[in-house]
């Protein structure tokens, strides 16, 4: 039996308690400073407030002040923070985890640099730790997986990526179940880029749903031609960006496009895309979805910013990214939705 410590009691981090505990491992769920009420609720009810199913019996719950106790003796630590907690996790949590304990992050995203590079979160964390004299590898999860469906034991296939295949196989042996299927890979940049790049494009596909609702009525039947057309353009642009990241392999493309699909149909990004398509601007859409975490908007803005830097240097052609740039205009300039169909041809 292994000991699995999960730091971050959001929906995805908490969902991973299910396969870990069902595999008879000790599971310790630690809340961030923002998760205090969640941990209190879990202690009282053995259920996450956003889930409709109890945690497996035996999961232990810890407030942030008890984090070091929860880390002690762990065989692996899962980082369950959102992209808004990246700095906190890197500065406050990672330095407190002994380097011999493998870390597995669920956080999807990229950070852009002034010269137009896109860095994965594991790379950013590694660089910051190195500045403090700490040398460690950080593993990550990528692939199409919504938390509530993992809790429901829907069949799910993901990739665990990291630098050491032996460590990845160890993590897989702890977490894999008959419904949670894991493919290990050492291509961290490729996997992490693939699952982050899909965020803005999922929003772009969802725009078409809102556009059609504005035209035909909110309760009108779905129009799949337009969704498929934008999906196709998304695939085209994502492939170009993955190639730019050096990760345009069949495996990474498969993971990225699968994640694009599930985000369109099962993610929060769908909600904001529909509202924008109906005619709301981004401020109005955020107000409508008060309380919903919209990590995808941050990633989309960073990717577009990096692409624009490289377009300005003549390294990329704006004509290759009409959808991404229009999405960026919607988010940054509050440009009305006008999907650039003619530029897709």
Residues designated catalytic: 198
List the structure tokens of 209.
């749903």
Distance, in Å, from the CA atom of 41 to the CA atom of 47, rounded to the nearest integer, reads 7
How far is CA 258 from each of CA 156, 198, 199, 342, rounded to the nearest angstrom?
A: 11, 9, 12, 26
CB atoms within 10 A of CB 333: 10
With CA atoms as reference, report the closest residue to 240 among 297, 318, 175.
318
Distance, in Å, from the CA atom of 268 to the CA atom of 296, rounded to the nearest integer, reads 9
Angle (nearest 5°) at CA 257 between 121 and 267: 75
Helix boundaries (H) for the chain: 11-15, 17-22, 36-45, 67-71, 86-88, 121-131, 147-151, 165-175, 188-216, 224-244, 250-266, 268-278, 282-288, 295-312, 322-332
DSSP state of 337: P
| Burial state string for 199-213 with b = 16 or more CB within 10 A and e = fewer than 16 | bbbbbbbbbbbbbbb
How far is CA 337 from each of CA 188, 208, 211, 212, 344, rounded to the nearest angstrom?
A: 34, 9, 8, 12, 16
Task: Write out the H or E segment, with its range, that includes residue 28.
Answer: strand 26-30
Give SS3 for 77.
strand
With CA atoms as reference, report the closest residue to 207 among 287, 292, 303, 271.
271
């Amino acid at each position: 039996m292994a000991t699995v410590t999960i730091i971050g009691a959001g929906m995805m981090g908490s969902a991973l308690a299910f396969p870990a505990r069902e595999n008879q491992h000790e599971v310790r769920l630690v809340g961030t400073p923002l998760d205090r009420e969640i941990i209190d609720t879990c202690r009282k009810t053995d259920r996450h407030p956003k889930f409709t199913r109890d945690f497996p019996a035996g999961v232990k719950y810890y407030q942030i002040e008890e984090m070091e106790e929860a880390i002690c003796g762990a065989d692996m630590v899962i980082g369950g923070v959102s992209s808004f907690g990246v700095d906190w996790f890197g500065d406050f949590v990672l330095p407190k985890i002994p380097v011999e304990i493998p870390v597995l992050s669920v956080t999807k995203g990229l950070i852009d640099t002034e010269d137009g590079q896109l860095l994965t979160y594991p790379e950013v964390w590694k660089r910051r730790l190195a500045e403090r004299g700490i040398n460690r590898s950080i593993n990550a999860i990528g692939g199409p997986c919504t938390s509530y469906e993992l809790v429901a034991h829907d069949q799910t296939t993901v990739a665990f990526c990291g630098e050491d295949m032996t460590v990845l196989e160890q993590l897989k042996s702890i977490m894999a179940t008959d419904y949670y299927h894991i493919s290990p890979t050492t291509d961290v940049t490729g996997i992490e880029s693939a699952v982050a790049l899909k965020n803005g494009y999922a929003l772009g596909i969802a725009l078409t749903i809102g556009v059609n609702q504005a035209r035909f009525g909110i309760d009108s039947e779905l129009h799949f031609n337009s969704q498929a057309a934008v999906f196709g353009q998304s695939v085209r642009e994502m492939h170009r960006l993955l190639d730019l990241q050096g990760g345009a392999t069949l495996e990474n493309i498969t993971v990225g496009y699968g994640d694009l699909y599930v985000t369109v149909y099962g993610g929060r990004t769908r909600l904001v895309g529909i509202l924008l398509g109906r005619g709301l601007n981004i401020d109005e859409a955020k107000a409508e979805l008060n309380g919903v975490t919209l990590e995808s908007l941050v990633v989309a803005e960073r990717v577009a910013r990096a692409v624009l830097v490289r377009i300005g240097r003549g390294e990329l052609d704006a004509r290759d990214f009409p959808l991404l740039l229009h999405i960026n205009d919607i988010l940054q300039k509050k440009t009305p939705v006008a999907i650039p169909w003619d530029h897709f041809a």
